[in-house]
Amino acid sequence: MTRVKSRGCEAEKNVRHEYDFQRIGEHFRLPGKVIRSERMPSGNINKTYRVTYRMDDGTNKSYLFQKVNTYVFKNPAEVMENIDRITGHIYKKRDGRNALHFHHTVEGKNYYSEEGNEFFWRVRNYFDSVTFDVCNDVQILYLAGVAFGEFQRDLRDFDASLLHETIKDFHNTKKRLETLFKDAKEDEYGRADTVREELTYIAGVRDKACTLIDMLEKGQLPLRVTHNDTKINNVLFEVDGSSPLTVIDLDTVMPGLVAYDFGDAIRFSANTAAEDEKDLSQISMDLEQFKAFTDGFLSELRGSLTEKEVDTLALGAFCITVELAARFLDDYLTGDKYFKTLYPEHNLVRTRAQLTLAKDMEGKLKKMREIVLQCYSGDGI
């Protein structure tokens, strides 16, 4: 099996950036002199850099600097308050092992901001690690499943009332689809006519894609504290890929559905192609990859999910895939303001890729559900 390392770990070396990292670092009381900064190209929202310092004793030390996207996160201080609490909770659970540590400023804040909130920075410890984007190595997928399952388990006793809702209705599929159809009708950028086929498909599967939100509203599924952005490149692995180190990207940890955490990971990791693949014939949901992640995830959660939760995990993958397609399409229709795009049609390409995957999943749901039940009962390994 081959695996493809993330673009995220192949940072652009020695590129000059528009930011004065030395000055930003001073606010966090970082000692030493900045000798290198590299942009990490992964992530569709925030800007991330590895910044390396030369210390007084001649050794080098790297940090992860992140400029938070305050168009997306309207109240970034609340995001950082959540992160403080979550990292503290996980630190205790894991005795500090591979813990994320966010540095504090002179004023005792875990961020530094200027100009309203537009210049909003945070700094955390850097891990020598690898991440995976497109990956068909079932062992890696199994381990990514373990990491997210463990994360979910670690947060079981976290008091959800302490968390701010960092993005309102983030995974409310119903609202996401309502917004899409409203924006398509308004059609401010005159693009709706070019995406009729996509809109028709989404309208056709609307009820099915909203099944889990319906069940949540009826009290048939529990809200738990979930990660809400479980792409497997949010799991850092040891450099040799032998084991997961930690789960990153805690911006959207909020109450949510386990099936959406599970489903989002499947959407990303069991896809045979990249999230934004242009050649639609490359895209499908691989059942072996599906099984590997599922096995790992459920090995950590066996006995702790309700029957309905287990029963709806597979469908969760379909729902969140349609939801993300709707979000990409909505961003395309409203002028590409939310997701970073690398070229003008990027959001449209992403939409088509996600819808191709959703269609493929639709035909495989029965089999996916069987695999889930098998793994949950422990027969999957």
Contact footprint for ligand GN1 (CB under 6 A): 43-45, 72, 229, 249, 251-252, 275, 324
> Nearest-CA neighbor of 177 among 188, 165, 169?
169
State the nearest-atom distance from the C-beta of 302 to ligand GN1, in Å.
Answer: 27
| Centroid of chain to Cα 286 | 20
The span from the CA of 33 to the CA of 344, in Å, is 38
State the nearest-atom distance from the C-beta of 327 to ligand GN1, in Å.
Answer: 7
Closer CB to Mg ion, 205 or 250, in the complex: 250
Q: Which of 38, 150, 229, 295 binds Mg ion (CB under 5 A)?
A: 229
CB atoms within 10 A of CB 132: 25
Decide which of Mg ion, ligand GN1, none touches 163; Cβ closer than 5 to 8 Å per partner kind: none
Decide which of Mg ion, ligand GN1, none touches 331; Cβ closer than 5 to 8 Å per partner kind: none
State the nearest-atom distance from the C-beta of 167 to ligand GN1, in Å.
Answer: 6
CB neighbours of 231 closer than 8 A, spacing ≥ 6?
264, 265, 268, 269, 275
Q: Which stretch binds Mg ion (CB under 5 A): 82-90, 147-155, 222-230, 255-263?
A: 222-230
DSSP H helices, the chain, are: 21-27, 76-93, 138-154, 173-186, 196-204, 206-209, 211-217, 258-269, 287-301, 307-333, 346-377
State the nearest-atom distance from the C-beta of 256 to ligand GN1, in Å.
Answer: 12
| Centroid of chain to Cα 248 | 9
Decide which of ligand GN1, Mg ion, none touches 110; Cβ closer than 5 to 8 Å per partner kind: none
State the nearest-atom distance from the C-beta of 59 to ligand GN1, in Å.
Answer: 31
What is the torsion angle, in degrees rounded to the nearest 10, for the CA atoms of residue 134, residue 331, residue 69 and residue 153? -50
State the nearest-atom distance from the C-beta of 375 to ligand GN1, in Å.
Answer: 24
Residues 190 and 226 sit within 8 Å (Cβ to Cβ): no
Closer CB to Mg ion, 249 or 264, in the complex: 249
Residue nearest to Mg ion (CB): 229
Decide which of Mg ion, ligand GN1, none touches 72; Cβ closer than 5 to 8 Å per partner kind: ligand GN1
State the nearest-atom distance from the C-beta of 232 to ligand GN1, in Å.
Answer: 11
Residues 11 and 46 sit within 8 Å (Cβ to Cβ): no
Closer CB to Mg ion, 249 or 309, in the complex: 249
One DSSP character per residue, 74-101 reads S-HHHHHHHHHHHHHHHHHHTTTTT---
Decide which of Mg ion, ligand GN1, none touches 277; Cβ closer than 5 to 8 Å per partner kind: none
Closer CB to Mg ion, 46 or 299, in the complex: 46
3-state class of 333 per DSSP?
A: helix
Decide which of Mg ion, ligand GN1, none touches 324; Cβ closer than 5 to 8 Å per partner kind: ligand GN1
| Centroid of chain to Cα 38 | 21
Map the footprint of Mg ion across residues 230-289, applying CB under 5 A.
Answer: 249
Interacting residues with Mg ion (CB under 5 A) = 229, 249
